[in-house]
Amino acid sequence: MVPKEPTPRTRCPICGKATLLRFRPFCSARCQTMDLARWIGGNYRIPSEAGEELEETRGDTDADE
């Protein structure tokens, strides 16, 4: 019987190490906490044009007062 090729493991998005099922998709509680801190800190953002339009309209209303 021919041994199977090892399947590629999922890698931790923070440090690149192999993930553990317990912390998936991370490798440890440390990387899990680092990711949470990035979310809370606002590091993960999706740029949108709607946000810029809202800021412009807010500025216009402030000038009218």
Q: Across the chain, how many H-helices and E-strands are there?
A: 2, 0
Judge if pTM exceeds 0.75: no
Cβ-contact 41, 53 below 8 angstroms: no
With respect to residue 32, please indicate whether it lies within any of the assigned structural domains.
yes
Burial label, 27 (beta-carbon count in 10 A; 0-12, 13-18, 19+): buried
Host domain of residue 23 = 13-41
With respect to residue 64, please indicate whether it lies within any of the assigned structural domains.
no
pLDDT digits (tens, 9 = 90+) for 1-58: 654 544 457 899 999 999 999 999 999 999 999 999 999 999 988 887 775 666 666 6
- Tell me the C-alpha distance between 9 and 18, whole Å: 6
Tally of domains in the chain = 1
With respect to residue 30, please indicate whether it lies within any of the assigned structural domains.
yes
With respect to residue 18, please indicate whether it lies within any of the assigned structural domains.
yes
With respect to residue 21, please indicate whether it lies within any of the assigned structural domains.
yes
With respect to residue 34, please indicate whether it lies within any of the assigned structural domains.
yes
With respect to residue 20, please indicate whether it lies within any of the assigned structural domains.
yes
CB atoms within 10 A of CB 17: 13
